Amino acid sequence: ALSVGIVGLPNVGKSTLFNALTKAQNAQAANYPFCTIEPNVAVVPVPDARLDALAALVNPAQIVPATVRFTDIAGLVAGASKGEGLGNKFLAHIRETEVIVHVARAFEDDDVVHVAGCVDPARDIDVIDTELILADIQVLENRLDRMVKQTKGSKDKELLDKVAAGKRLADHLMDGKPASTVEGADTLAMQALFDDIRPITAKRVIYCANVGEDDPNGESPLVAKVREIAAARGAEVVVVCARMEEELAGLADDERQEFLASYGLTESGLDRVARLAYHTLGLISFFTAGPKEVRAWTITAGEKAPAAAGQIHSDIERGFIRAEVIGYDDYIKHQSEAKCRAAGVLRQEGKDYVMADGDVVHFLFNV
């Protein structure tokens, strides 16, 4: 599953949000017998109306959605990068995730103390971002020291380019800017450096504005501030009310819809976070549909049929012969695989076929 780390200052609502995720996981637990339960991890489905539409046609024994794995990275505070307290352990957890969800407090509530005395999401975001940048500087400087020693008398152009990229990145980070915005981020040298030190601040970020129950659509100036910060980083914002999410996660499906509608909403904040995390990384889904199960599989946009087959099993990728593919819209239009075949919309595709979002697929392979 796609892995997402939740960060934010203490008392901004991370645990509340995470409780909601855990409830959502436990409601689904029967579908994921293979998931071990870990206290700071919640695996939740990515909502996808297409999966439900296919299942309604096929009537399978089981429906398996794509999933997102959330890790609660609590305890990130000012000084974490210097290893104060348990800081470094948290940073290690962040390194393992693909997307960071940065929760910022955008609710006023006199009963909830703020660690810095007043509510100011811009300052809060800056505290966390600064720690992450400092952590990257530390790793980079260690690496750069070693690389510079290697370059003594060396004419290895690749290494020299990488050192130059490292110096450029160090200056950029020292300016308080995230690695994701460094100039020349797509050059070979910078990519090689990123692969090497895996900067935390090169990861995709989604800002999560935790709003009060009185502002479910996020119209307060506090949220406007979060939007401004996100826009400067080319990141998205999700407005969530953690308290409401917690309540929602405990409701049955029909009650959920009613609850959301009463706030003028159609989808829970957690569903939006899961979906956005998925799309932020350029991920798409293809489907397998049979009487045993209808299932969504996750691939990166642009991947070819054999790699997609490899998601299901490495043997299918290795022995790949061809794929029988039905476009999602065709499947819905003709209502079954047999009717798609009869209508001539089931296509035979070879190893160079680039998968499209929503493809319904059968892979043929040699064992």
Q: List residues binding ligand GDP (CB under 6 A).
A: 8, 10-16, 74, 107, 109, 112, 210, 212-213, 241-243
Q: In the chain, how long is the greatest CA-to-CA distance?
A: 71
State the Cα–Cα distance between residues 145 and 197, nearest whole angstrom.
13
Structure tokens at 142: 């260690």
Minimum CB–partner distance for residue 134 and ligand GDP (Å): 21
Question: How do strand 347-349 and strand 320-326 relate by DSSP bridges?
Answer: antiparallel
325 is in an annotated binding site: no
Is 14 labelled a binding residue?
yes
CB of 244 to ligand GDP, least distance (A): 7
For ligand GDP, the closer of residues 12 and 326 by Cβ is 12
Nearer to ligand GDP, 10 or 310 (CB): 10
Strand positions, DSSP E, the chain = 2-7, 41-45, 62-64, 67-72, 99-106, 204-211, 236-240, 283-289, 293-300, 320-326, 347-349, 360-365
Cα dihedral 219/223/229/234 (nearest 10): -60
CB of 112 to ligand GDP, least distance (A): 4
Distance CA(90)–CA(80), nearest Å, equals 8
Rank residues 57 and 251 by Cβ distance to ligand GDP and give the closer one.
251
Q: Which is nearer to ligand GDP, 241 or 249 (CB)?
A: 241
In whole angstroms, the minimum distance from the beta carbon of 14 to ligand GDP comes to 3
Q: Name the residue with tokens 């499906």.
A: 253
Q: Which is nearer to ligand GDP, 105 or 203 (CB)?
A: 105
16 assigned to a ligand binding site: yes
- In terms of C-beta density within 10 A (0-12 exposed, 13-18 middle, 19 or more buried), how is residue 223 classed? buried
Task: Compute the least distance from the CB of residue 103 to ligand GDP, in Å.
Answer: 7
Residue among 6 and 284 whose Cβ is closer to ligand GDP:
6
Q: Is 19 annotated as a binding residue?
A: no
Please state whether 281 falls in left (phi above 0), alpha (psi between -120 and 50) or beta.
alpha
By the 8 A CB rule, do 200 and 94 touch? yes
Q: Toward ligand GDP, which CB reaches closer, 171 or 213? A: 213
Dihedral, CA of residue 180, residue 182, residue 187 and residue 189, to nearest 10:
-100
Question: Of 74 and 170, which CB lies nearer to ligand GDP in the complex structure?
Answer: 74
> 16 and 243 in contact (C-beta within 8 Å)?
yes
Q: Which DSSP string do the residues of 21-87 spell out, in sequence order?
A: HHHHHHHHGGG-TTPPP-TTEEEEEPP-HHHHHHHHHH--SEEE--EEEEEE-TT--TTGGGT-TTH
Is 163:147 a contact under the CB 8 Å cutoff? yes
* Smallest gap from residue 184 Cβ to ligand GDP (A): 36
| CB of 135 vs ligand GDP, minimal distance in Å | 20
DSSP 8-state symbol, 250: T
| Nearest one of 367, 273, 290, 280 to 324, comparing CA atoms | 290
Q: How open is the CA angle 348-349-353, to the nearest 5 degrees?
A: 165
Closest approach of ligand GDP to the CB of residue 123, in Å? 15
Show binding-site residues for ATP. 11-16
Show binding-site residues. 11-16
